[in-house]
Amino acid sequence: MAEHQDHSEDHGQAHYVKIWAILLVLLIISVMGPIVAPHIAAGFLKAWMITLMTAFGIAVVKAYLVAANFMHLNIEKKYISYLLATMLTLMLLFFSGVAPDVMKHQGQNWENIAAKSEIERGLEEEAARAHGEHGEHGGEHDDAAH
């Protein structure tokens, strides 16, 4: 009986360790994604698409694995899932309502001059830095080790 209990305990803990191992494999894929993406990009499959999938697609899978297996959302009462889904829906509502004003910098009757000048200033600084680095270091990036 005790032996049976020990066996079931090992099985329960082994499940959590297995989920953790899967999470680590997914972490490695997400870190390697931007490094290997330029090498495997071909045709319509662009490097940024691969990075997007390995970064955010995997983040969603990792979050699901933690929520379902570690937080036990898969065996929790449905009330909790509905509660969390409602909050996420509110976030989507917030995003869809506010994003057009933030992501666009002009409309029919308005213009976000501050945002436009900030973008211009940032891009000019970047271009100047890139130009300076090409001149001083022959293309080496001074922050490569950072």
Site residues (vs other proteins, CB under 8 A): 9, 12-13, 16-17, 19-20, 23-24, 27, 30-31, 33-34, 51-52, 54-56, 58-59, 62-63, 66-67, 69-71, 76-77, 79-80, 83-84, 86-88, 90-91, 94-95, 98-99, 102-105, 115, 118-119, 121-123, 125-126, 143, 146
Q: Which is nearer to other proteins, 45 or 80 (CB)?
A: 80
Q: Report the nearest approach of other proteins to the CB of residue 1 (Å).
A: 15
Q: Which is nearer to other proteins, 45 or 130 (CB)?
A: 130
Q: How far apart are the first and last CA of the chain?
A: 57
Q: Report the nearest approach of other proteins to the CB of residue 121 (Å).
A: 8
Q: Report the nearest approach of other proteins to the CB of residue 56 (Å).
A: 6
